[in-house]
Amino acid sequence: MENYDINQLALITGFTTRTLRNHINMGLLEGEKIDGKWTFTSEEVDRFMEQDFVKQALKSKRNAQVFDFLADTSKKSNRICTILDFTVDHEEAMDISKFFQDAMNNGASDVQFRFSYDRGLARVILSGAEDQVVDIMKKYYN
């Protein structure tokens, strides 16, 4: 069983850790505090992400990432925005999410990442510096 900390959940959802803590305080997100740090099981994350308000917020954040990329006509360096759709089961989706989270935590300083999973479709959106996005994609497909 996969566990996530609040920073990983923030990376997956695009919500700030403060927003996630507010959702915890309101009882909308369940988790466990271990040694002063919030931990969430994949089932708790799934329940949270299945709520209608979360789905709408995630959709807005994903769309904003793509629209912002398209609207920025003053780029000073090569940039990429890519959307990857995978038809996978839940376990495979979590593996995909974990891979991209790890990639983001290991040096992708100029890349934005969004992830969603709904009814067999895992979607990853990456946008940012060309070299960093290409590097992540190479690592994923190798």
Return mean pLDDT, the chain: 90
State the pLDDT at residue 133: 96
State the pLDDT at residue 141: 94
State the pLDDT at residue 1: 60
Same domain, 23 and 39: yes
Same domain, 46 and 73: no
29, 50, 71 - which closes a domain: 50
CA 115 to chain CA centroid, Å, is 4
Same domain, 16 and 38: yes
Same domain, 77 and 109: yes
Query: What's the total number of domains in the chain?
Result: 2
Same domain, 79 and 110: yes
Same domain, 38 and 10: yes
The dihedral formed by the CA atoms of 31, 110, 83 and 56, expressed in degrees to the nearest 10 = 40
Residues 135, 29: Cα–Cα separation, whole Å? 34
Same domain, 59 and 20: no
Q: What is the DSSP letter of 114?
A: E
Residue-wise pLDDT for 126-142, tens only, equals 999 999 999 999 999 99
Q: Which CATH number goes with the domain that contains 109?
A: 3.30.70
Question: What pTM, to 2 d.p., does this model score?
Answer: 0.74
Same domain, 139 and 95: yes
Place of tokens 């996630």: 20
- Token couple for 60: 């807005």
Q: Which CATH number goes with the domain that contains 23?
A: 1.10.1660.10
Residue-wise pLDDT for 46-91, tens only, equals 899 888 888 888 888 888 889 999 999 999 999 999 999 999 998 8
Q: Which residues form the domain of 13?
A: 1-50
State the pLDDT at residue 87: 97
Same domain, 68 and 114: yes
Same domain, 14 and 33: yes
Same domain, 107 and 70: yes
